[in-house]
Structure 1
Amino acid sequence: IEADLRAESAQRTVELDFDGYAVGGLSVGETREEMLPALDAALDHLPVDQPRYLMGVGDPLSIVEAVARGVDMFDCVLPTRLARHGTLLTDAGRLNIKRAEFARSEDPIDPNCPCPTCATYSRGYLRHLTAVGEPAAASLCTVHNLTWMLGLVARIRAAIAAGRLDGLRAEVAGVWSGSGPGLG
């Protein structure tokens, strides 16, 4: 990951006095354990009073970890890519709507989600749409995943304001690090 080159790049970029700074070249196949030290190597040299943008990182745990390190903005196709393939983000982890166990389920994707998909459609119906290749399935799942991600960011903001970001980090890690019960 070349921490020394990342540090040098950040230092030289700061010399150009931009209004904000982007960190890229991460989340391209390396593990989170490799990515975070590389991110730290760059962030250690970027101004804390200017926007910091982490490019292409979108899994829930990496977002929380990056915010805890001082990252302000993200972009990633992950929520929409997962939705197109029938994978939904929930408070309990990933849910693969293609699984046969959901064929007759009348439950929403996530009972705590305020999105129109969860308010209107059951897991069983979404599974059916996905199984028959109905294009609306990807749209409905995308609405849910984007709503869930917006909710995660709102929870991060609230945790920061309340001084409880470490607690949220532990909660998210319990579900999204592979040690939690995650679904499908």
Structure 2
Amino acid sequence: MSAAESGFQRFALAIYEEDGVSPATLLIQNRCDVDVNVLLFAAYVGAVRGCAVHDDDVAAAADRVGSWQREIVAPLRAVRTRLKAGPPPAPSTATAQFRDRVKALELDAELIELAELDSFLAGHALTPVSGTPAERAVAAMTAVTSDTGGTEVRDAMSVIATAAAAYGGPG
């Protein structure tokens, strides 16, 4: 981690590595069509910052990073994903090395998005809320997903919320 990483960036990178969090975020991303970084942002605001996330907070955060996500991060992800199986000459040793470089660029783009969300957080008023860190994280993520995914989405949120609540880094 670089010294330039924010508290939110440290949080996002740390909990993403926790057991079950990566597949949980991907499930929610695919079922609810949400940006994983905005989802983790909500978990951070709820669990670590102890604040509520409302629809207008989600809209403002998504507006802040939406173009970057759609125009930069998503295309890099699409290229990386496509290189797993094709087009020819992929998959091959040469294309695997290229895919690794694309993956590194995708991560760099994600870190820029995390920094933008952290900058947004610094200038955005939030409302303190009661509850345990895990309860606050679930409530905040529900604002992002509108809870449209049913039991599997709620279970995935629980996995993320548990990791978020256990996060011991600085907020």
TM-score scaled to structure 2, two decimals?
0.32
Structure (1 or 2) with the greater strand fraction:
1
Structure possessing the higher relative contact order (Cα contacts under 8 Å, 6 or more residues apart): 2
More helix as a share of residues: 2
